[in-house]
Amino acid sequence: MNGEAMEGGPAQDKQHAGNSSHLPPPPTITPAIPPYVKLGLTIAYTIFYSLLFAFVYAQLWLVLRYRHKRFSYQTAFLFLCLLWAALRALLFSFYFRDCVTANALGPFAYWLLYCFPVCLQFFTLSLMNLYCAQVRGGPATGTAAPQTGTGGPVLVNQKLILVVLVDLILVDQ
């Protein structure tokens, strides 16, 4: 093996022009999901979130119609679900028009459509935990929780405020 055979001819030099490592160019990346599948999933999610919105909206109207307690855990849970479903349906409806624009929103719109629904999920989970702590003393006992004042709700509210603040701070980064 001589040095001339290893270097290659002028055709190989033109092929590797601009590539100092003499590696072939990387292959083009193709999407993992074909576009028609993306469109089908977008339609399915939009319909699902819209139906969820309509169902929760009807439940809230039933609360008003039958004069149930308006300020309760049930109505708070339903309102959080309504807001969450509305934001998700709005987000997925944006993907019909222009996917690139939906992914390049301004800071407030981005936070509202992408980050705030996660906060709403945390609020809903905290509300359910607060309700279960108020109704039951613990997982093993069937007795009511002892009334120790408002320590539970205050702690939950502090955690909720902390989550929103952290979420707002991390959106800017």
- Residue at 39 is within a domain: yes
pLDDT digits (tens, 9 = 90+) for 53-102: 999 999 999 999 998 888 899 999 999 999 999 999 999 998 877 778 88
CA neighbor of 90 nearest in space, from 53, 38, 37? 53
- Residue at 19 is within a domain: no
Total domain count for the chain?
A: 1
- Residue at 10 is within a domain: no
pLDDT at 164: 76
pLDDT at 159: 78
How far, in whole angstroms, is CA 52 from its chain's centroid?
Answer: 16
Is the pTM value of this prediction over 0.85?
Answer: no
- Residue at 23 is within a domain: no
pLDDT at 172: 64
- Residue at 70 is within a domain: yes
Distance CA 105, CA 111 (A): 9
Domain that holds residue 83: 33-137+151-164
pLDDT at residue 107 tops 80: yes
pLDDT at residue 144 tops 90: no
- Residue at 37 is within a domain: yes
CA neighbor of 118 nearest in space, from 152, 71, 92, 80? 80
Question: What tokens does 165 get?
Answer: 């603040």
pLDDT at 148: 53
Neighbouring CB atoms inside 10 A of 169's CB total 9
pLDDT at 173: 61
pLDDT at residue 48 tops 90: yes
- Percent of the chain scoring above 90 in pLDDT: 31
- Residue at 109 is within a domain: yes
CA neighbor of 80 nearest in space, from 134, 123, 50, 130? 123
- Residue at 79 is within a domain: yes
**Residues 107, 171 contacting (CB under 8 angstroms):** yes
